[in-house]
Amino acid sequence: MIRETGAERLGRVLSKLQVNLEKGLTLVAAAIVGVMMLLSAASVLMRWVFNSPIRGDYEFISLLFVFTVFFGLAYAQSRHQHISIGFVHDRLPERLRRYVDIVVLAISLGLLLIVTWQAAISTAWALKMGDTILGAIQVKTWPPRLAVAVGTGLLCLRIFVQLVRLVRGAPDSTGGRGA
């Protein structure tokens, strides 16, 4: 029987934590879509019945949309559900495909680290300045900015894990295709 080392155990626990975070944020995004639908429907109903929509509905829905996009990114990446050019990628020899995946993931990671960093700076600025959007009511902008930072940060972590597995030649544990 092969004993698991402390590092392997830690890796397994962190991997499980990452998967749970990805799934959890995806469920939050799905719940937010439900809230957006209810808010839209209620506002339309209020406009129709009382000739007075819910004040600020457009602002809230616009900002909630950011959560739905960015909270699902890492989960989609873990399932290889992002748009790819399969008809080119799939025709490459396996070894070349692996190198292309490594380059694409490395470039993606670099760019997304910059996005994460800038989103974190933007969140801190919006929080400090009390930034709001102009509209029917004032709505703070730091929560959706934080959603961008969290979502892209988790996506960076997912891409890093996939990149390390590709470089080490380990199989992709998600069962998806391509990078």
Q: pLDDT (tens digit, 9 = 90+) per residue, 114-167?
A: 999 999 999 999 999 999 988 888 899 999 999 999 999 999 999 999 999 999
With H, G, I as helix, E, B as strand and everything else as coil, classify residue 66. Answer: helix
Contacts of 154 (CB under 8 A, 6+ apart): 18, 21, 22, 25, 73, 74
Contacts of 103 (CB under 8 A, 6+ apart): none
Q: pLDDT (tens digit, 9 = 90+) per residue, 61-94?
A: 999 999 999 999 999 999 988 777 778 888 889 9
Q: Would you list the domain boundaries of the chain?
A: 6-168
Strand partners, 133: 139
CA dist 65 and 13 (Å) reads 31
Largest alpha-carbon pair distance within the chain? 72
